[in-house]
Amino acid sequence: MALIKPLNGVSPKFGTNCFVADNATIIGQVEMGDDCSVWFGAVIRGDVHFIKMGNKVNVQDNATIHATYQKSPTTIGNNVSIAHNAVVHGCTIHDNVLIGIGAIVLDDVVIESNAIIAAGAVVTKGTRVESGSVYAGAPAKKIKSLSPELLEGEIHRIANSYQKYASWYDDSDAGQKIQS
């Protein structure tokens, strides 16, 4: 069973139809929208500031979401995929965003809607990722504009796929569906 714990009198809150894998960890000031999924080994730690997630957010295996004490909360919009081993820390992510495998998004970053952060990218403190862009590298820079094919074929496809994958676990011992 997933480790879901209150801290300092504040418990995580979940929308409807959320899936949490058995070894995921969710602590403290975390608020999740509807149709979200948190996969194996992922950690969402709302101990030093709040973490707010919209609807249809998937936090894939071993990803970490955290914030900075009394300074930088983490806010994630709707239809966002945070891929395997990514780190999202004290930032704002708008709607329809893909954070690639192993990417790192640091404090006070703002990722506008309809953007991709490529696998392995490091988005440094205070960067503003413009809407309709693909950023890659370390430090991450815009490498191209987001095409309609990438929006549909990557951002929407992955978010929809993870909603489908979560449904496979409805009758499984590998996780739990959480209803608000």
Residues 69/51, Cβ–Cβ less than 8 Å = no
Q: Quote the pLDDT of residue 180.
A: 59
User: Would residue 174 be called left, alpha or beta, if left means φ above 0 and alpha means ψ between -120 and 50 degrees?
Assistant: alpha
Quick one: DSSP state of residue 151?
I
pTM: 0.96
Domains contained in the chain, CATH given? 3-166 (2.160.10.10)
pLDDT tens track of the chain, all 180 residues?
899 999 999 999 999 999 999 999 999 999 999 999 999 999 999 999 999 999 999 999 999 999 999 999 999 999 999 999 999 999 999 999 999 999 999 999 999 999 999 999 999 999 999 999 999 999 999 999 999 999 999 999 999 999 999 999 876 776 777 765
CA 140 to chain centroid, in Å, comes to 18
Q: Quote the pLDDT of residue 150.
A: 93
Residues 47/68, Cβ–Cβ less than 8 Å = no
Q: Quote the pLDDT of residue 1.
A: 83
Quick one: DSSP state of residue 41?
T
Cα distances from 63 to residues 41, 44, 58, 130, 143, in angstroms, run: 7, 8, 10, 23, 24
Alpha-carbon torsion, ordered 105, 85, 54, 15, to 10 deg: -150
Amino acid letter, residue 175: G
CA 152, 179, 6, 23 dihedral sign is: negative
Residues 18/175, Cβ–Cβ less than 8 Å = no
CB burial of residue 119 (10 Å; 0-12, 13-18, 19+):
middle
